Structure formats: structure tokens, C-alpha cells
Structure 1
Amino acid sequence: MKIDQAIQLLEYYYLHDTRNLCLAFSGGKDSTAVVYLTFAMLHKLRQNSLESQKPIYIINSNTLAELPPLLEHLELTLNKIRQYVSDHNFPVIVKEVFPETKDTLNVQLLGVGMPPPSSTFRWCTDKLKVNPIDRQIQELFPSGEFISVIGTRKDESFDRNLRIEKLSVKGTNLKINDRYPNASNLMPIENWTTKEVWEYLLKQTNDLVNIDFLWQLYSDASGKDANECTFVAAGGKHIDEGKIGCGVSRFGCWQCYMVRDNDKSLDGLMNSGYANVDLYKAYRDWFWNFTQQGWEKTRDVYHHRFHTREIYNKGDEQSAKFGMTMPRGLTLKIRKIAFKKFLELQDQLNISIITPEEIVLIQERWLDEGDLELTALRLAKKHKIKIHKSAKLLSCRSASKKAKDYYKIELFKKPFSKEFSILTLKRFAIQYTLNPEKIQKKFFPSKKEENHIRKEWHISQKIFCNHVFSNLLENI
């Protein structure tokens, strides 16, 4: 009954709403069920001579950082769907979108120094998934008019159930799309249980998606044997109610830090014998622990881009942190160590997990922060990564040379230079040689001032300071 209802729902809005259906496909069980239901609807329309040529779009947002088995499965699946569409001449268009190079996880974590995402600072979702989809949506539907078909279900969580109810449009089966006012969301399996999703999928053929592999993947990620999670009955494969935990794993970026201490999917895949998952997990765990030693040891006092000083001003002066210097991203030292370890991981895996284009952007950011030695490029060469000549690469080399000359000939010899760390002087050198007009508003603290800031961070409380934050310009 639920299958028929879902197909009828898709059919109604496909035929009677002027807007196109746009399926959000992640490759997981729920979005895979929605894809099968959509093609079932198209077959039914053809059988009933109600066929329409109105395009249906399937969009996948590839973060470029998925778990290796899922990424491979996803690429194979998209190709199988394209072939199926071609074989049956259905009006379905498959789109795969990617984050911009500047927004990839590698560039943001290793280059920009963004701290690992958290529940209060989940920057990764927008950069890796939402923004690429937004660009594709704007290209396909300039007016913002479409129906987003998604595999969201109420039984995923209590909060998800409440949110679905809150967004429901009275008198329809649609939900409010809070990102596009002219669009709506359609959730054909919102009332399905996880057990029902798997029972439906395991009765389908592998023509569209390799369901057997998908089930195996979820089972392995759960740390359980797929054979122990299913049994064969008269109607085919069914899910044992007592073993439904085998099919509820969640997948995401292999470097996902939203799960905090342990990634159960990584653990499950590793224990199931998937190649090299232990290496991915070892790096992921190391990076998490390395960046969680407190602001005073891991965070920068500079804004990555503008080198400005920002003050904590939430609440009022009764707050212990009021007036403290806000921590910025991960220190350049931490990023250099992590980048080196990341390249060592790539050598162990013997596959590419970072591109030359990402390395150039990482170096460009590091140079702006005082890496006059172009460490990222030197490490890439050491690890036999070929970086092709480009305008950005040549610009980095030219800017580095000018800044080094200024630092050695002019800045380092000044009598006040001992008051500042070498990194601060190098940051000033590159910023001054790149754009001396904008240097006035940038923040270059002395050693004493930086120690003061880190001491405040250590005790999480503002400490009275009787000296004024200095500016290198006063001594030039």
C-alpha cells in the first residue's frame, strides 16, 4: 500500500504540477528507494499511455571526500542510471555537482585552517553540498520553481519528525522549501520505516543500483555480517525485525568530525576487511586529537584573510570572555604538520586524495600567512606530485621572492624585530609587499601580546592588560 501511495504521489505532481521534479540523490538507501519509485512511476505512465516528456532531474552532490567504498558505488550507480535512462528512453537527466576547489575539505582544513566542524559551526555542509547544488539549481531553474523530491523520513529521529510536521503545507502533500520560496519539497517515503525501505529495495533488480552491494555496505558499516541480517522467505528477502540495526548505518566524508571521537561506519568497514580503511581512520583520529588541545595550543590570533583582531562581545561585560581576542583558525604550524602527514597517507594508499590544484590553493593561503619558503610546494615535489605551471603558481613564486628580499634586507635588521616572532615578521613582509595600502588595518602582535592572548584563552577569562596592542607600522 505504501509503495502504491508513493508512486501515485509522484505521478500526481509530475503530471499536474507545472514544475519539474528534481531528485536529491546521495547514493544511500533512502534516496535510492526514491529513485526506484520514480522509475516505477515512469513505467506505469508508459503502460497507461500517459507518458510525458517533461524532464525529471536527478542531482548528486559529490563532496569528493566520501568513504572509498561509497564513492566507488556512487560513480558506478550514476553510470548505471544513465545507461538505464538511455535504454528506456526516459526523460530523466542525471547531474553530478562538485564543490569549488577553494571549498573542498582539503583546502579548507589544510589551507584555510578551518577548525573541524561542530554542531554549532557546521561550515562543511554549505561548502561541500549546499553551495554546489544551489549553483546547479539556479542554472536549471532560474525562477526557483521546482519540486525537490527527497528521501527524508519521520522515523529517522524525533527532531526530523517534528521538522517535517512543521514544514507541511496544509491541504497538500508538499512541504515548505525554506531555501527557495517558489519551490516545494515532496517526501514520498516520509512515513516508511527503515525496515520497509530495505524490504522494498531488496525486492528490486540491480538494473538501476547494485542493491546487493548497498546492503552489504550498510551491513559491513554496522560491523555485522549481511547474511546474519537477512533471511529468505516465500516472498523473497525480508529483514529480520530483531536485526534491523544492520541497515541503519550513516555514511559521509571519511574525515567527518561531526561524529566526534569514533566513526562507527569507518570502524565497521575496517572490521569487515575493506582495504586501507584503517589508514583513513588512523589519519582521521590523529587529526581530531591533534586539533583538540585547546585554543592556546591550536588556534591562531590572526584572521586568515585579513589579519585583523576581533573581540568577543557576546552578552555583556559580566561575561568572563567579554573583550578577549577571538580565536581564529588552526595555526599554520598545525596545518603544515597535517599536510605532511596527509601526503604520507596518500603515498600509503597509492591513490590520489588531494589534487595539484588544491595544493596550489593551499600554498597561496599559506604564503599570505607568512610561509615565504613555499612549504606546500616543496613537500609536493618531495612526494613526487607534479604541479603544472599556472598563473597562480607563478604569482606565488614571484610574491615569495619579493617578500623574502624585503624580510631579509629591510625588516629583519630593524632594532625592534626581536619584539616579534619570525612568523609575524614574515606575515608582515608578504602583506606589505602585496598591498602596502591595506596594511594599516591589519593586526601584527608582538611576542608579549600573543602570549597574553594565549594566556587568556588558557583560562577562558579576560586578563587586565596595561599595554596597547602594537602595530609594526609604528616602527617602520
Structure 2
Amino acid sequence: MGTSSDESESADASSQPDLETSVFEYRDLDDIREEIQETYLADDRPWVIGYSGGKDSTTTLQLIWYAIDDLQESKQDKPIYVISSDTLVETPKIVNHITSTLDNINEYAEDEDLPFEAHKVYPDVSDSFFVNLIGRGYPAPNQTFRWCTERLKIDPADNFIMDKVSEHGEVVVILGARKAESATREQVMNLHSIEGSNLSRHSKFANAFVFTPIEDWTVDDVWDYLLQVDCPWGKDNRDLAALYQEADDECPMVIDTSTPSCGNSRFGCWTCTVVQEDKAMENMVDAGDDWLEPLLQFRDLLKSTQDPNDKPKYREVKGRRHGYVREKDNGSDGIIPRAYKLEFRKHLLRKLLETEKEVNDRRGDDEGYLQLIRDEELKEIRRIWREEEADWEDSVPQIYHDVKDDDLDWVQNDLGSFSAEEAAVLEEVCAEHDIPPKLMKRLLDIELRHHGMKRRASIYNKIDKVFRENWRSIEEITANIEGEEPERWEYDLEYEDLQQ
């Protein structure tokens, strides 16, 4: 007798193990090892394992290590790349944990002649957290405006995956994702599954597939395994458990924006403002790591800028890309706040460098120097301020010297721009004629950069773009919103617009 589709779905659902049921009630480690080996031997696609340093990715990597080590040496012929995304703003203790683990993996793999290669992947300088926050003025991330996730975590991993796709044609990405993590995670994993296969489709890349060996494991399964099975690359899993004593969860390897924020955990970024409080960092300080306190204070400063009442104090009223002003369209009066003001960004840079200095004073020389912002990031921030913000004062080298009492190898007059003395004269002239000084600076910068060119056609478009920006005062803009002067509001699709 036939079965209705509803009955079939019900039967399928009942045959699936409950997400709260231990995987070891219906499978054993030998079964799981054989599944990993069969999947590895099924084709010649290399593997890319996403490793975050947390419990799930450690379990996944450890399972695979033992499974591959148990194969005949002649069958261990397919490379397995282990990648970890370093956002450059990771909690320092976790950076040390991940770095030493990757070093161990490479050392043990070489000694045992196993096909594992561990790599860190980093965001491009232009995508780094501080270049966007301080350089471009992106506001501190929140739940609805997580501009950092894609730039710092997803893109670096994607770039590595695509490099391997280009080299090998197709790859299999291994993740420590578990359906029991959340209903959303289960839904996403089920959506991309391939019937009759251990693999799933990658959410973005047609030539990449996903394998999740612990997808049916509970959190208790993970800890039971880690605390009973020795780590094969020389680490002690009890040390990992200790990192979790005061944290709720790890920050998983992120491959899409459906992954929740990890700001509450030890495995998140120390700058994370997506959560209200960084309890993990607070717990570390309370446990005796008082050298982390300046990081927590800087993070709390960023968090304070999200107070709706204080946004006008920190934020511009016009977008940085096109210079338009947008009125709120959610039924409330007012203007959508945009990027951080340049003066506040200067304050943030100074505060960050002071934080770096204080952290290292507290840590002591034996711990090694902790660099919170890299030299190349400082130089990129300087370039952005000089080219896009008309920073004739060349503030970055000045701020750096004031705090560090030292200098980097700054390129002198690299843009052939004007100086602080000329800025002061221009300020006086503009004040006399009621002209925004930044408007004149931008126009003069455009002329300077096109000076001597044989073809100057593009200069007119750039001048026109500057004139189309909104150069009115905040009082004039507010009066316009209240209906004293009609104007067509421009719609500017840029990241700053997403934060209301």
C-alpha cells in the first residue's frame, strides 16, 4: 500500500536521532573513523579543515588526524590543509593557543609524515578592523550591523579555499559544525545536504563541498571525547577545557553570516561590541590577568558610542562615499548617523596606541611585545585620512610620535599634499567667507593631484562629485527636515547606511 508524503516525512523524521541524544548511543568511534576514511578515499579532492581553536574544531581535527594516521601510508596521498582565521583583534590568550597549536600540527605532521599543513589566514590590510573603524570611520559593530564578520573571517577563508579550487579544481571543506548548536544551524546544514552522500554543497562555491563529521554530536559528546582521547599533536585537552571554564561557547570557524556572534566567549575578538558586555574578558581580568583591563576599557569606549543619545557627538551626518544626508525612514524624526567624525577617529587612534603601551607595561618584557595595530595598518589609515579626509595636518605620524616617542619609516610628502601651516591659513580665509574649510581642502587636493597631467578630463567629474555633497551645517539640515526647505533626499547604498 502506498504511503502519503506527509507519512513519509513523519517516518523519516522519526528515524533521525534526537539532537539531544548522544551520538555514542547509536555509533562508536570505529564507525566514525571508517566514515572519515571512506570520505577521504572516495575522490582526489583535497581537504580544507576550518580550525578556530575551540572544542568543536579541535574534536573534528583530532578525529580526522587519527583516521588518516590509521590508513596505509600509500593511501595518505591527498593534502589536508588546516586553516585558522586570525582577525588580528583576537583575544591575546587565544592567539597564543592557536599559534602554538598550528606550529605543533606542522611539526608532528612532518615528523610522522602525515599530509597535514596548517596555515593562518589574515584579512587584507584594507579590510582590517582598525583600518575600517579608525581609517574609514565605520561605527562599532552591533547585532544588525556586523560589518566585521565578512571582512575579518569569511573573506580570508574564502580566498584560501578559492586558491585551492584554482589549484586542484575542487575541494572539500571540513567544519566542526553541529546541528545541536542552534535551530538556525541545523536548518542551514539540512538545506545544503546532498542525498546519499556524506558531503553537502558549499553555500557559495560550486566547486567546494562541505563535510561535517560531528554534525550529530552533542556538546557533552565533544567534551567526553576530548577529555578521554589524547591530542595527537602534543597538546593537552585539559588546557583547552580550562579556557572554557568561564565562557559559554567558542567562536566557530565562520563561513557565512548565519554564524552567531562569539562576543561572549573566550574565542572572540577583544574589540567585539556586538554583545552588551564582554563577560569572558571580564572574567579573565578577575582571574588575575589584569594586563587585559586596558583592552576591556577600549572595548567599552567603542560600546559607549552606540548609545543613541550620544551618536551625534561621535558620528557624521553625511555618508563618506557620496556625501549625502539621509533622513530616518522608520517613522522617527532625525538624520541617519554615518561614519565616525575624523576628530573622534584621531582620539580613537591615540587611545589605541596608549592602550597598547599600557598593556605591554603591565605584561612585562618576558611576555613579548603585544602589537595591537600593525605598522601597515597605521600607514593605510594615514593614506585614507590624507586622500579622503583632507588631513593636511598629517595626523597619524604626529599621534604616533606623541604616544610612542618614536617614528615609523613614514614616506615623507608621499601625496605632495599641503601642510598644517597652509591648513591654518585656509581655515582663516574660509571663516571670513563662510565656506566649509573641508570643501576647499578637497577641491585643492583634487587640483594638486591632477596638476601637470596632459589629460585632465576626469578632474571635472571629481569636482562635480565634491560639489554634489551636502555641505550645509547641522542646523540647516535639521531645519530642512522640519519642513522649512524642501529637498530631494538621495539614497546612498553604503555600509554606514545599514546602521540606524
The two structures have a TM-score, normalised by structure 1, of: 0.81
Contact 2:328 2:336 (8 Å CA) reproduced:
no
Partner residue in 2 for 1:167: 192
Partner residue in 1 for 2:153: 129
Q: 1:413 to 1:278 in 2, by over 3 A?
A: closer
Q: 1:166 to 1:344 in 2, by over 3 A?
A: same
Aligned: 1:356 with 2:375: yes
Kindly state the Cα deviation for residue 158 of structure 1 after the two structures are TM-superposed.
Answer: 1.9
Partner residue in 1 for 2:298: 283
Contact 1:117 1:124 (8 Å CA) reproduced:
yes
Contact 2:192 2:201 (8 Å CA) reproduced:
yes
The alignment partner of 2:70 has SS state of helix
User: Matched residues in 1 for 2:295 and 2:335: separation?
Assistant: 35
Q: 1:69 to 1:366 in 2, by over 3 A?
A: same
Contact 1:221 1:267 (8 Å CA) reproduced:
no
Aligned: 1:43 with 2:63: no
Equivalent position to 1:466, from 459, 474, 485: 485
Aligned: 1:211 with 2:237: yes
Cα deviation code 1:400-459 (max 9, x no counterpart):
33x864x56667535863253x455444544554455312112454453x3343678xxx
Contact 2:49 2:173 (8 Å CA) reproduced:
yes
Aligned residue identity for 1:201: L
Aligned residue identity for 1:381: H
Kindly state the Cα deviation for residue 26 of structure 1 after the two structures are TM-superposed.
Answer: 1.0
Aligned residue identity for 1:217: L
Cα deviation code 1:218-253 (max 9, x no counterpart):
114459xxxxxxxxxxxxxxxxxxxxxxxx945211
User: Matched residues in 2 for 1:410 and 1:152: separation?
Assistant: 58
Partner residue in 2 for 1:226: none
User: Matched residues in 1 for 2:278 and 2:37: separation?
Assistant: 39
Kindly state the Cα deviation for residue 37 of structure 1 after the two structures are TM-superposed.
Answer: 0.7
Equivalent position to 1:30, from 26, 43, 56: 56
Equivalent position to 2:269, from 227, 242, 253: 253
Q: 1:194 to 1:454 in 2, by over 3 A?
A: farther
Q: Which has the higher contact order (CA 8 A, sep 6+)?
A: 2
Aligned: 1:381 with 2:401: yes
Kindly state the Cα deviation for residue 326 of structure 1 after the two structures are TM-superposed.
Answer: 4.9
Q: 1:290 to 1:427 in 2, by over 3 A?
A: farther
The alignment partner of 2:210 has SS state of strand
Unaligned runs of 5+ residues in structure 1 are 224-247, 457-461, 470-476
User: Matched residues in 1 for 2:404 and 2:397: separation?
Assistant: 11
Aligned residue identity for 1:32: T
Partner residue in 1 for 2:348: 338
Aligned: 1:15 with 2:15: no
Kindly state the Cα deviation for residue 303 of structure 1 after the two structures are TM-superposed.
Answer: 3.2
Q: 1:250 to 1:354 in 2, by over 3 A?
A: closer
User: Matched residues in 2 for 1:88 and 1:100: separation?
Assistant: 34
Partner residue in 2 for 1:199: 224
Cα deviation code 1:129-181 (max 9, x no counterpart):
12112222222221661111000011111221222222222222222211111
The alignment partner of 1:276 has SS state of helix
Q: 1:10 to 1:373 in 2, by over 3 A?
A: same
Aligned: 1:98 with 2:126: no
Contact 2:319 2:339 (8 Å CA) reproduced:
yes
User: Matched residues in 2 for 1:455 and 1:26: separation?
Assistant: 51
Partner residue in 1 for 2:392: 372
User: Matched residues in 1 for 2:418 and 2:31: separation?
Assistant: 64
Kindly state the Cα deviation for residue 6 of structure 1 after the two structures are TM-superposed.
Answer: 3.0
The alignment partner of 1:141 has SS state of helix
Aligned: 1:119 with 2:134: no
Q: 1:298 to 1:249 in 2, by over 3 A?
A: closer
Partner residue in 1 for 2:84: 60
Kindly state the Cα deviation for residue 121 of structure 1 after the two structures are TM-superposed.
Answer: 2.2
Identity %: 28
Aligned residue identity for 2:101: T
Kindly state the Cα deviation for residue 278 of structure 1 after the two structures are TM-superposed.
Answer: 1.9
User: Matched residues in 1 for 2:312 and 2:111: separation?
Assistant: 60
Partner residue in 1 for 2:134: 110
User: Matched residues in 1 for 2:310 and 2:196: separation?
Assistant: 52
Kindly state the Cα deviation for residue 52 of structure 1 after the two structures are TM-superposed.
Answer: 2.4
Contact 1:138 1:144 (8 Å CA) reproduced:
no
Partner residue in 2 for 1:298: 314
Worse overlay, 205-214 or 83-92 = 205-214
The alignment partner of 1:303 has SS state of coil
User: Matched residues in 1 for 2:355 and 2:170: separation?
Assistant: 44
User: Matched residues in 2 for 1:252 and 1:168: separation?
Assistant: 28
Equivalent position to 2:283, from 268, 271, 296: 268
Contact 1:356 1:387 (8 Å CA) reproduced:
no
Kindly state the Cα deviation for residue 382 of structure 1 after the two structures are TM-superposed.
Answer: 1.5
Aligned residue identity for 1:384: K
User: Matched residues in 2 for 1:126 and 1:103: separation?
Assistant: 9
Aligned residue identity for 1:282: Q
